[in-house]
Amino acid sequence: MNSPPLDRAALSPTELDDYQQHGYVVRRNLFAPVEVANLQREAVRLLVDNRDLIDPGNLRCRFMEHVETGEPIFEVFDPVNDISPVCAGFASDPRIVAMVESIYGEPACLFKEKLIFKPPGARGYDLHQDIPRYWPGFPRSFLTVLLPIDEATADNGCTELYAGYHHDFLQPPGRPDLYMLPADVVDSRRRVPLLLRPGDAAVFHGLTPHRSAPNRSPGLRRALYLSYNARSDGGDQRQRHYQEFQERMRTHHEQQGRSGMYFR
């Protein structure tokens, strides 16, 4: 199957209505099989060629406990574009940019990007909204385009969204500091598992609450997460964001007794 021509990449009025109403939209077959295969090869190469980067001391990397053994397993490169021209190419792909700009009604700026590998056993993510309430200046226009590299299923811990909550923060009263949310702030009937195939793209608002279950399959569940802000909402701030993000991470690690964190 071929991917759509560029002039049909922008969201249609119906898709835009869906996004405004539910806080997410799914576009099937945005990328052709040959493009998907290129991203899949790149995800393999990234692991093979960057073994020396994969270190709990490196702020580029995040580890996640194994759901049964508690053992930390490597899970994320964040950022990834500077070590992956292929990922950088997807982040500036005109079809993705057209989708995002049709939501904003103005130019978009890449804010951050990460490649999640989610290996077998990775425990998954607790419920959260991506925009941290406690972070002054974090753009409210933040949204994410999720590109699955492997099929995302219930078994391998696909991302699960809760529809229609993207107009406000969900922290319980008096707890603006919370990032991970109690499960009861959302209605489980509004849960939408993002069952995606490579080539599809899902776009979700930075306040759309989401979580994911453990990967109980024998394979990786890889996905590229590309996040943007509207240009009028702080302009190009990717570099500044990563500086601040890494300072916050460094402080967080020091509070847990881990010093000597570095970025490479």
Residue 175 is classified by DSSP as: -
Q: Are 99 and 226 in contact (CB under 8 A)?
A: no
C-beta of 9 vs 170, nearer to ligand AKG: 170
Point out which residues pair with 62 in neighbouring strands. Answer: 76
- Going by C-alpha positions, the residue among 38, 262, 242, 227 that lies closest to residue 115 is 227
Binding flag, residue 200, ligand AKG (CB under 6 A): no
Binding flag, residue 125, ligand AKG (CB under 6 A): yes
Binding flag, residue 84, ligand AKG (CB under 6 A): no
Which member of 23, 124, 198, 199 binds ligand AKG (CB under 6 A)? Answer: 124
Residue 112 is classified by DSSP as: E
Binding flag, residue 165, ligand AKG (CB under 6 A): no
C-beta of 3 vs 125, nearer to ligand AKG: 125
Counting other chains too, the contacts that 65-72 makes at CB distance below 8 Å and 24 or more residues apart are: 65/122, 65/123, 66/121, 66/122, 66/123, 67/121, 67/122, 67/123, 67/124, 67/214, 67/216, 68/121, 69/121
Structure tokens at 102: 């049709």
C-beta of 3 vs 227, nearer to ligand AKG: 227
Q: Are 264 and 77 in contact (CB under 8 A)?
A: no
Binding flag, residue 159, ligand AKG (CB under 6 A): yes
Binding flag, residue 209, ligand AKG (CB under 6 A): no
133 C-beta neighbours (distance < 10 Å), count: 17
> Which span sits near ligand AKG by CB under 6 A: 18-26, 88-96, 118-126, 133-141?
118-126
Interaction pattern, residues 220-259, with ligand AKG; x per rule: CB under 6 A = ---x-x----------------------------------
# binding residues, ligand AKG (CB under 6 A)? 11
Binding flag, residue 90, ligand AKG (CB under 6 A): no
> Which span sits near ligand AKG by CB under 6 A: 88-96, 98-106, 124-132, 168-176?
124-132
Q: Which residues contact 248 (CB under 8 A, 6 or more apart)?
A: none
The footprint of ligand AKG (CB under 6 A) covers 116, 118, 124-125, 130, 157, 159, 210, 212, 223, 225
